[in-house]
Amino acid sequence: MKKKILIIVSCILAVIICLCGIFIPDKPEIKESVQIIQNTINNEIATYEMTEKEVDELPTTEIVEQTEEDEKNIEEQEVEDEAFELQGEIAYEGDKARSWNVTLGDYKGLTYYSQIDSRWSNKMYSSVGNTSQTIGSSGCGPTSAAMVVTSCKGAITPDTMSDLFVKYGYRSANNGTYWSAFRALADEFNIEYQETIYLNTVVELLKNNHIVVASCGNGLFTTGGHFIVLTGIEENYIKVYDPYLYSGKFDLPSRRGKAEVKGNTVYVSIDNFRAYANYSNFFCYKYEGTQQVNNSKPVVTFTSVYNRYVKVNTSLNIRAKPTTNSTIVASLKNNSQVTVYEISGNWSRIGTNQWVCSDYLVSTIQSIPKVNSYSTGTYVVNASVLNVRYGAGTNYKARTYNQLTANARQQNRKLGNYYTNGYKKGVVCTVTKVSGNWGLTASGWICLDYCSKR
């Protein structure tokens, strides 16, 4: 019915176009507006004619509205229990002789999926028939795996991947997805793979065409356990696809200023990831970009016409082709409105031979949050005891009581404990230098997230 209505409207529009050609002067802006309407109708018809499978394979483009309470209700992904991991290894050993026998869809390039996408969020993901266990509540594992395979080989959706994890024993009864699922993923889909616990190694791999699944505990990305996907490095920031990304997630007090969201990508400085992500293991896959591996189908694009707004700190480059190696033809300022005519992987076409990275486009005008916007000046400590370190980061050793200045020791004594190794709550100090969210005081470096500026 919808298709018939669109066709009728298209015919009426064709008549209007003819009349415009007769009665309206030849104005480029009128022709462009009419063409946009025509393209919209044509693409609506084309989208309506897509198969259900093709529609499901489209990337997640909207950030879902959720709350902190919703996040706290998701099932915790266990990341450290030895017995839990042992059961996963048993599942992996038992699966070695089998093939998952799954057919992938068209290769799409780097793709984001959300576990709380309405297409599959309410589908059961359980090995014990528990209907309260859904992809939305505990499916960060299969959703992350679906992003890896879709980006490296060919399209597979989170619901299909969750079925495979349940079928072959990678879904535990109560603790989400076994780590071994990600090792089996590399074997089943023939993706070059390595595993590490070191962030420095991961940073180098991300610079060398890898896509990485990280297992994180309570911290920057989750109140429990969680899998996220690291897709690259931009300057000193890690680009993250968080399968449980919702509007306002990084505006919470404990996360504010530690990450920035652009589209469906979360940008976290390497230092902040090291300090706050609470990571424990990384599963690293070689990412060949647009090179075909086991799938002869071409890289596909899908078309639609809609408006978006640019969200950047400085300016957004417009390129002649959908690749960072292509020529820059122009640039856009923050909050500039653009019309998207076509999507190709992680790129949006906004005009003839004009492409921009979709990570920097949002559906509404938004202000850019400032990341670590601290400055020099006087601060008061809010934490019960705040470590004072030799350098700007938790990887530096904390100073002892004897290494604090006389003024700091005197303030600690007045606040109730002369021999405290660090600044007690209420200590006032002067920050003379800032590096990210760290400030240099007379006694050493402190994390300014635990202080208030006077």
Q: Give the ranges where 24-168 is alpha helix by DSSP (H).
A: 28-48, 52-57, 68-72, 82-95, 135-138, 140-152, 158-167
Tell me what pLDDT residue 80 has. 38
How many Cβ atoms from other residues are within 10 Å of residue 447's Cβ? Answer: 19
Coil, helix or strand at residue 369: coil
DSSP state of 103: -
**Closest to 47 (Cα-Cα) out of 33, 57, 36:** 57
Mean pLDDT of the chain, nearest integer: 79
Coil, helix or strand at residue 116: coil
Instruction: Report the distance separating Cα 25 and Cα 354, nearest Å.
Output: 28
Q: What is the pLDDT of residues 349-405, one digit of tens each?
A: 888 888 888 888 876 655 444 445 789 999 999 887 889 999 998 888 888 888 999
Instruction: Report the distance separating Cα 272 and Cα 157, nearest Å.
Output: 31
**Do 182 and 281 touch, CB atoms closer than 8 A?**
no
Instruction: Report the distance separating Cα 320 and Cα 354, nearest Å.
Output: 5
End-to-end alpha carbon distance in the chain? 64
Q: What is the mean pLDDT of residues 295-307?
A: 50
Instruction: Report the distance separating Cα 432 and Cα 441, nearest Å.
Output: 6
Q: Best-predicted range by mean pLDDT among 82-86, 265-269, 359-363, 414-418? A: 265-269
User: Between these two residues, 42 and 147, which has the higher pLDDT value?
Assistant: 147
* Two tokens, residue 336: 């500039």
**Closest to 265 (Cα-Cα) out of 75, 407, 114, 417:** 114
